[in-house]
């Protein structure tokens, strides 16, 4: 039985490695993962993978989702093409459905005003400041941050990003979540036994 559906946004140049831990372990723990694009036309990731989105963004509804994941992409800083994903993130947050954004997606959410009054992080504070957003006082210098249903992380923290997602969705209890993080972030082999227990 599925625990719900997590939607992974995909667009040309999306950073495929940033969400690998998140999607793999959600799938392993009963969640369905579906991809969503601007359209259902295939896109190519930064790593050269071709992905045909399962559905178009206009078909995505917050009530059909447990989570929206927004990976980084060069397009987040190259114009407004991905702005519809930021507007969809607003609809998700307004509906109380969590959103997880990493790397350049955080800048897209900053431009949309979604970081103005929530704790958040990104690559560095001045990266977001360059967007002209009003949320600088809420910037936290941390690997990953959860602020009122919005999870953010910088580009070098896919494991911390996944940990925040798993904590928000209740994928693991606190003890297993800590063990998962120690195993995948710190290469602590002793944590494996906790995960198997």
Report the C-alpha gap between 143 and 137 in whole angstroms.
Answer: 17
Tokens of 52: 């045909």
Q: Note if 103 is an active site residue.
A: yes
Q: How many residues does the chain have?
A: 197
Q: Which of 124, 173, 133, 169 is nearest to 151 (CA)?
A: 169
Report the C-alpha gap between 193 and 176 in whole angstroms.
Answer: 10
Considering the candidates 103, 107, 109, 162, report the single residue annotated as catalytic: 103
Helices (H), the chain: 20-28, 83-94, 104-111, 125-129, 158-169, 174-186, 191-196
Active-site annotation, residues? 103
């Amino acid at each position: 039985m599925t625990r719900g559906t997590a939607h992974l946004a995909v667009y040309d140049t999306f950073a495929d490695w940033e969400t690998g831990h998140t999607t793999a372990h959600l799938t392993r723990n009963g969640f369905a993962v579906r991809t969503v694009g601007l359209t259902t036309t295939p896109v190519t990731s930064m790593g050269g993978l071709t992905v045909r989105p399962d559905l178009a963004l206009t078909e995505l509804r917050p009530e059909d989702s447990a989570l929206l994941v927004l990976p980084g992409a060069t397009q987040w800083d190259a114009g407004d093409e991905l702005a519809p994903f930021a507007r969809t993130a607003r609809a998700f947050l307004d509906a109380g459905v969590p959103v997880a954004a990493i790397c350049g997606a955080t800048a897209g959410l900053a431009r949309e005003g979604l970081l103005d009054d929530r704790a958040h992080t990104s690559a560095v504070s001045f990266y977001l400041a360059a967007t002209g957003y009003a949320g600088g006082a809420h910037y936290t210098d941390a690997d990953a941050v959860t602020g009122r249903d919005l999870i953010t992380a910088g580009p070098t923290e896919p494991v911390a990003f996944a940990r925040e997602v798993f904590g928000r969705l209740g994928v693991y209890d606190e003890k297993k979540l800590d063990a998962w993080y120690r195993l995948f972030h710190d290469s602590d082999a002793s944590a494996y036994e906790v995960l198997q227990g």
